């Protein structure tokens, strides 16, 4: 089967026109954080959810809220606390005394963009209710099942600086997130601009520049981005190197990796690379797309051994070594 790259390229260039509008509009409110905004768009366009680790005050809430405003979608922020119940997220059945009947009250999960703040602050029952909704894209309340809206993106945050009174997400559940991002502090110039912008009498507000229909069309277009069999094999090689490092000349890593990445990693890396190419307004995936997004797809899927922890070697360092070692097609 021959693939018309020129036709795909032309289509992707047309369908991705709105990307510049979104980044310009978001840039009016958010200073810097290009990496985080780009990854949010990748999650949105490839139907994946995002786990974000970063200290407080890095504009995580504002970034999601601003992105939501630019695409005319509903936004909800859920603050996870130890006393939160699954019904507080998905909704519940209420008895109406006047009519003597039961009615369904939908929870905040019925929105397009959800910020789950400090997801590790709530017990496992609440975490699993959110993760089920993320995976199934539907919620059952009482005896009724309701589909969640489309587009639908969950950005869950974890605070890395304190672990007291937290309920860490099990590795098997963390695997359900497409990307795990690690957000750092802004640089000096960005901090100065943030301070100036946020202390004005009127803080900037983002306007709606695209519609949800544009996003849904773009999601279909992302699936059409061409990925060469050589690049597909490159993706599988990277994932397999996390499981069998010796076969890829990474003997020093075999004692450091307890569990490699699951098949979800291959699927997500392929989709995220397509979305990355789409954001670059390209109709085909290059090895650079895979390398750019690889760390975000794999850092939470590779589990290191006690030996690695004793030597203070992180999963991130292991993934970097693998990506740098595997031969680029």
CATH of the domain at 119: 3.40.50.300
Neighbours of 21 (CB within 10 A): 15
Same domain assignment for residues 181 and 295: no
State pLDDT tens for residues 257-271.
999 999 999 999 999
C-alpha distances out from residue 306 to 68, 239, 255, 256, 314, Å? 41, 21, 9, 8, 11
Instruction: Give me the pLDDT at residue 68, please.
Output: 84
The pLDDT of 11-23, averaged and rounded, is 85
Domain containing 253: what range? 225-325
Residue 65 confidence class, pLDDT cut points 50, 70, 90:
confident
Handedness of CA 7, 12, 15, 18 (dihedral sign): negative
Instruction: Please tell me whether residues 174 and 247 are part of one structural domain.
Output: no
C-alpha–C-alpha distance, residues 248 and 242, integer Å: 9
Q: Over the chain, what is the mean pLDDT?
A: 86
Number of domains in the chain: 2
From residue 112, alpha-carbon distances to 79, 263, 310 in Å are: 17, 27, 42
Task: Show the CA angle centred on residue 111, arms to residues 117 and 172, nearest 5°.
Answer: 50
Residues 267 and 229 in one domain: yes
**Whether residue 1 has pLDDT greater than 60:** no
Rounded to two decimals, what is the model's pTM? Answer: 0.87
């Amino acid at each position: 089967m021959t693939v018309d790259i020129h036709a795909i390229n032309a289509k992707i260039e047309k369908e991705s026109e709105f990307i510049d509008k979104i980044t310009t509009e978001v840039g009016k409110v958010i200073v810097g954080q290009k990496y985080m905004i780009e990854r949010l768009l990748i999650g949105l366009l490839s139907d994946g959810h995002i786990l974000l680790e970063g200290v407080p005050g890095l504009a995580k809430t504002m970034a999601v809220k601003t992105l939501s405003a630019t695409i005319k979608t509903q936004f909800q922020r859920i603050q996870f606390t130890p006393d939160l119940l699954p019904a507080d997220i998905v909704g519940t059945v209420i008895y109406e005394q006047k009519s003597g009947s039961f009615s369904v009250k939908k929870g905040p999960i019925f929105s397009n963009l959800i910020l789950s703040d400090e997801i590790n602050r709530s017990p496992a029952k609440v975490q699993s209710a959110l993760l089920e909704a993320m995976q199934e894209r539907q919620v059952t309340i009482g005896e009724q099942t309701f589909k969640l809206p489309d587009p639908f993106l969950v950005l869950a945050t974890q605070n890395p600086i304190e672990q007291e009174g937290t309920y860490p997400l099990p590795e098997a559940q963390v695997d359900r997130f497409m990307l795990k991002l690690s957000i750092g502090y802004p640089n000096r110039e960005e901090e100065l601009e943030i301070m100036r912008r946020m202390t004005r009498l009127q803080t900037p507000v983002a306007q709606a520049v695209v519609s949800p229909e544009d996003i849904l069309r773009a999601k279909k277009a992302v699936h059409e981005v061409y990925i060469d069999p050589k690049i597909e094999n490159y993706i599988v090689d990277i994932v397999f190197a996390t499981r069998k490092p010796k076969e890829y000349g990474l003997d020093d890593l075999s004692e450091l990796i307890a569990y490699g990445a699951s098949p979800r990693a291959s699927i997500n890396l392929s989709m995220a690379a397509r979305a990355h190419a789409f954001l670059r307004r390209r109709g085909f995936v290059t090895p650079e797309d895979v390398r750019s997004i690889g760390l975000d797809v794999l850092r939470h899927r590779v589990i290191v051994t006690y030996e690695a922890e004793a030597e203070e070697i992180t999963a991130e360092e292991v993934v970097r070594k693998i990506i740098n070692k595997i031969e680029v097609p």
